[in-house]
Structure 1
Amino acid sequence: MRILIILTLILGINSCKAQSISENELIGKWILVAETDSFPDDIEPLTENDSDSESESDSKAELKATLTFNKDKTIFINQMGNEYNATYKLTDSTLTLGNRIYIIVRLDIEKLIYKVKDHLFDKNYEYKKAE
């Protein structure tokens, strides 16, 4: 019985430590580098201006977004000059930004990829760590 209690405590402490490591990797400024859809390669998503070649360059301009995660569980969001402050919460692979819920696909010291939870077509957002 004592062994079971000791193992439970050790595993509990390790899981708390693992969670804080992920949060430590999240702290800092992240720059959006890509947005990708989950469409198969042979299916083209419909757009309003398919014939416009400028629409591709405009979509690159729309990628100017940054996320700044702080240790006090607040986040500063800058999307093309529109600035927002919110709170965030990281639980396992679920990231909550304000009232929106995302699933973390990948998180390490250089790259953050997440997708919107419970959408029909997944859109992945890929960020790189600013230095």
Structure 2
Amino acid sequence: MPSRYLFYVIILIVAFLIIWIGKESFTQPGVGDLDLEFEEMAFYRNENNTGPVVRVYAVYAEDTIWNVLEEYGQFMPHTKYGNTKVFFFDSKENSPLEISPEEPYFDKMYNQYCIGKYEKSSMGDINFVKYPFRK
């Protein structure tokens, strides 16, 4: 009899762990949990899967809450030895709709509307700059 109770206790513990791990896996925080409205206007990713993967985003942000902008950048995909850049713009109408693979990534006429630049380098270093094109 006691071994039967032990068996049921172990089954209950395993079931609890499976449910808990499943819940944690599917309820991770993401971009949708941030306090601002974001809209990805343009995106570029090179097709090189064997070397460094370069990702460049142009994103509309409704406000300049700097820590939320930086959090958005941290949610963007990043590949080891790759580079991810996110440019934030304060206007949908004045955001680039096309991104090129090399600098400058978009037409210079959009520079005045760029409110922030988030970059995660190939070594995992994070750099966030407010108004990157203002002198």
Q: Report the structure, 1 or 2, having the larger helix content.
A: 2
TM-score (norm 1): 0.28
Normalised TM-score (structure 2): 0.27
Q: Which has the larger radius of gyration?
A: 2
| Structure with greater strand percent | 1
Q: Which has the higher contact order (CA 8 A, sep 6+)?
A: 1
